Structure 1
């Protein structure tokens, strides 16, 4: 590299190299990444930030999965015991399993639809903002004046 000329392939670099001859990027203006425009935690739902709600949902999901694995392990232990089991006991376990699966399905469906509702509201809001800004750009400033400002 010659002199203080910035290479064309390095946009955004400082105009001067470090003492050892390497180019250096300017310091960042922020210390945290911007994620989907939600650096402030996103929109509020029910008085809470959406990111807090998502974190709680994920934490609860892991707890539910852990409990289901534990219960499955316990059921497998009971079935694997050498003691003979009656049809009534197996039927009761199957009924409990079925109603638990139905309840979990309902809970998951409710969570999914709540999350989709929030996301669709956000999309609609952004679409409306974009359409309003497009309308402002497309609106003529003064219909009686051309681009150079000369009256028609």
Structure 2
């Protein structure tokens, strides 16, 4: 018998990512650039508790969605980076964001990124995944003119910042 309750790929994915926090953590690393525990703890507008964050990070590392690496700038810190498996969630998060923007009452400043990703479609998602690969898999700095910069600028403009 395959792992999980049934071996169904949707069931297994929900078992891995279907809790309240796992996709939020991936979102905050992917779209917020948060790579340290403290950034994830204080940068999440949803207000995750530290013990839950620690447990979810451990789970996501064990599942192969994140890596946990020593921070070269501070010996007592670690950095969490997306793996290829997590980067491949960009279309999933784009679809979830588009669905939420269409069917739920969302905050305009928090919806603008979802709308841009939906409008940009697969070509934009591929460019964003390439940026994430360069940053998270190869250690390159984020480009100033990439997809994440465009999404962040749109969010800041919508938030009036």
TM-score, normalised by the number of residues in structure 1:
0.23
Structure with bigger helix share is 2
Larger Rg: 1
Structure with larger RCO (C-alpha < 8 A, sep 6+): 2
Give the TM-score normalised by structure 2. Answer: 0.22
